[in-house]
Amino acid sequence: MQKQYKARQSVGRFNSGDIVGGLSESQIQDLLLRGVIESVEDVVEASTKTKPAVSTKTEKEVKTNGE
């Protein structure tokens, strides 16, 4: 599977948030170094790090009147 890149800001025919394609390896490296695009895998990793933990623990009601 080829790496995919997402535009962080408008560049050429791509708008911010677009998946970038059809560029040479040197163009990709240049845009990565300038911070204009980012790897899609990096985006997924970053978003999972910032999500709060979800509690799966459920509480049961306990009756103390003998019922």
For residues 8-24, average pLDDT: 93
Q: How confident is the model at residue 24 (pLDDT cuts 50, 70, 90)?
A: very high
Lowest mean pLDDT: which of 1-5, 12-16, 20-24?
A: 1-5
For residues 1-12, average pLDDT: 89
Domain boundaries, the chain: 5-50
Q: Distance between CA 26 and CA 32 in Å, rounded?
A: 10
In eight-state DSSP terms, residue 53 is P
